[in-house]
Amino acid sequence: MYVRSSYEHEHRADTDYFYGVQQRVNGCWNTASTEFRNVWEKYHIRWFDANYRTDWKVVRQHNLWSKLIFRAGGILGFDLEELSPTNWLPGVETIGDLLRVCGMGRYGLKEEEINVRIFTTEGTENTENVM
């Protein structure tokens, strides 16, 4: 019987890029403002209900966040290997900006929720929060 160890995978440029960048995306998630994270939770629930009604294990809040960051980086031509709360996606300051760049719907979020900033004071809030 063949037993594969954890994280055993063939090293390829695309997977190595993903794992390196994912750490940066996680760091940005961990420094996002509390207000943003509260609105994001609400958005995620509404988005999930509209897209994955039958399988509740498909996409969690952080997975949707990562998916949109990768999408926005590609659309904006931003090298995610340089991503950080202080070197963030150009023109993306609010949840609405992120949704607009990625072509995502609002799923009933109010205007004040859409205008919630992702980071406060240069992305330094909530550095203690871990996923």
pLDDT tens across 70-104, in order?
A: 999 999 999 999 999 999 999 999 999 999 999 99
Per-residue pLDDT reduced to its tens digit, 115-127: 999 998 644 444 3
Give the per-residue SS3 of the chain: CCCCCCCCCCCCHHHHHHHHHHHHHHHHHHHCCHHHHHHHHHHHHHHHHHHCCCCCCCCCHHHHHHHHHHHHHHHHCCCHHHCECCECCCCCCEHHHHHHHHCCCCCCCCHHHHCCECCCHHHCCCCCCCC
Which residue ranges make up each domain of the chain?
13-123
Question: Is the overall model pTM greater than 0.75, yes or no?
Answer: no
